[in-house]
Amino acid sequence: MAEKQQHHFLIIAYPFQSHINPCINLAKHLISSTGADITLSTTVSAHRRMFSSISKPDQEVNDGLITYIPFSDGFDEGFKSGSMDPKEFVSHFRAKSQPNVSTLVGDLAAAGRPATCIIRTIFLEWVAEVAGEYGIPSVLYWIQAATMFTTYYHYFHGFENLIRSHADDPLFTVCFPGLKPLQIRDLPSFFTDTENTFHISLLDCFRGVFQVLERDGRVLVNTFKALEAEALDSVNNPQTLSLFAVGSCGPLSGGAGHLFKEDEKKYMEWLDTKEEGSVVYVSFGSFSLMKKEQKEEMVRGLKESKRPFLWVVRKDNREEGEGVIEIEEGGGEDGMVVEWCDQVRVLAHRAVGCFVAHCGWNSTLESLVCGVPMVGVPQWTDQYMNAKLVESLWGCGVRGEVDGDGVLQGEELVRCLELVMGEGEKGVEIRNKAKVWRDKALEAAADGGSSDVNLKAFVEHISE
């Protein structure tokens, strides 16, 4: 009998925290589940932030499991927003990155470690061309919800005109095949925003994702079967699209991957002093910015709720002259504000009883895996859909209603926190649902669980 092929997966990650985290999780699961060799590559600027102690910005790093080798995208010192328009950036990024990734693939082969499969995240469709040059299988890693994948698929396959024609009606109902009815307000913001050039460029990037899938429809999806079975089944077709739900592989905690420096405040020790399920954790992720009015209302709501809170306010999301003390004092003596933290460790702590979040997919999954109910305050892109799923489909949280300026008022935050954390019937139901989904997520990731089985099936698929 022929010996099974030892795979070497080269994972190319877009240089955002929301792309890098799930790629590291996937890499760890591939190693533990299949014994594969893994090289993870992102841009030089992101690599040097992940490994701040390296002597050279392009230095190869091995953490004992994963080898990290960066590629240059022409912005090795980091991209300054506003220095070029979105279309120009996309063109420049590809022109600089594609030949450097091609060189990386060649160098790995020359070093006796040829890649047997290349995995790419969204916005990196040119990676499929690089794989084609070398005759290597390529696969997309969809780092958003399966429901979002299905929504994009149908938008680009017959629903675009319908959605655009009702762009001004947030309550208009859209019925995609295989999904429960959705409203315009649940869809990605750039489906209906035809004025914002950044949104237009992002939609073009997603269009490119699905154009490449017309030629090679193999997709790893960062979700698990029990969570989104209908969405996965509605577009899964072995002849055209093969979706493998491999998510909840064990959330990232510590080690490599963080693009932001962890705050030196002893926030975990602070959590140790709080009662079980009493703390409100607030974070709007690595990209979303909370405007000044929203921070003021957040302070007001947290103060009025009289619950202890841990709040992440990134350094790049502070107004001039606005310090940690100012925000912290606004919330009273029982609050702590940090610039960045290890989110999974926080969510897994017994004291955390609610997560007030922007509903990015990483945060949503991490909250599910840790069994923490959510108050969703979506800002843009897929966050509206995630908040809808959390509230209406999975029942493990609520979506806060914002005012005409998109601000969650303090009294609305108080209402949501009381609903989720209070002793009313609804709160008990939400917390119970959160525990149910935690158990299902852990079951999916365990040996023999659906995500583990699907990952092994994928490896068999590309080995044929």
3-state secondary structure 296-326: HHHHHHHHHHCCCEEEECCHHHCCCCCCHHH
Number of neighbours of residue 27 by Cβ within 10 angstroms: 24
Question: What are the beta bridge partners of residue 374?
Answer: 355, 397
Convert the pLDDT of each residue in 5-32 to its tens digit: 689 999 999 999 889 999 999 999 999 9
Over 80: is that where the pLDDT of 250 sits? no
How large is the average pLDDT for residues 89-104?
96
- Could you give the residue numbers annotated as active site? 19
Q: Which domains are delineated in the chain? A: 8-147+188-254+447-463 (3.40.50.2000), 267-442 (3.40.50.2000)
To which H or E segment does residue 234 belong? helix 225-235
Convert the pLDDT of each residue in 197-207 to its tens digit: 888 999 999 99
Question: What are the beta bridge partners of residue 399?
Answer: 376
Number of neighbours of residue 246 by Cβ within 10 angstroms: 30
Crossing angle of helices 17-34 and 450-463, in 10° steps, is 80
Paired tokens of 272: 């140790």
Please tell me whether residue 338 adopts helix, strand or coil conformation: strand
Paired tokens of 27: 């890499």
**What pLDDT, on a 0 to 100 scale, did the predictor assign at position 262?**
65
Question: What are the beta bridge partners of residue 66?
Answer: 38
Q: With 0-12 CB in 10 A as exposed, 13-18 as middle and 19+ as buried, what is 333?
A: exposed
- Model confidence at 254, pLDDT cuts 50, 70, 90, reads very low
Paired tokens of 145: 């919800």
CA-CA-CA-CA dihedral for 47, 52, 54, 58, to nearest 10:
20
**What pLDDT, on a 0 to 100 scale, did the predictor assign at position 23?**
95
Query: 102-118 burial string, b = 16+ CB within 10 Å, else e?
Result: bebbeebeeeeeebbbb
Over 60: is that where the pLDDT of 330 sits? no
Round to whole Å and give the CA distance between 221 and 217: 12
Q: Are 336 and 358 in contact (CB under 8 A)?
A: no
CB within 8 Å of 343: residues ≥ 6 apart: 283, 312, 363, 366
**What pLDDT, on a 0 to 100 scale, did the predictor assign at position 318?**
56
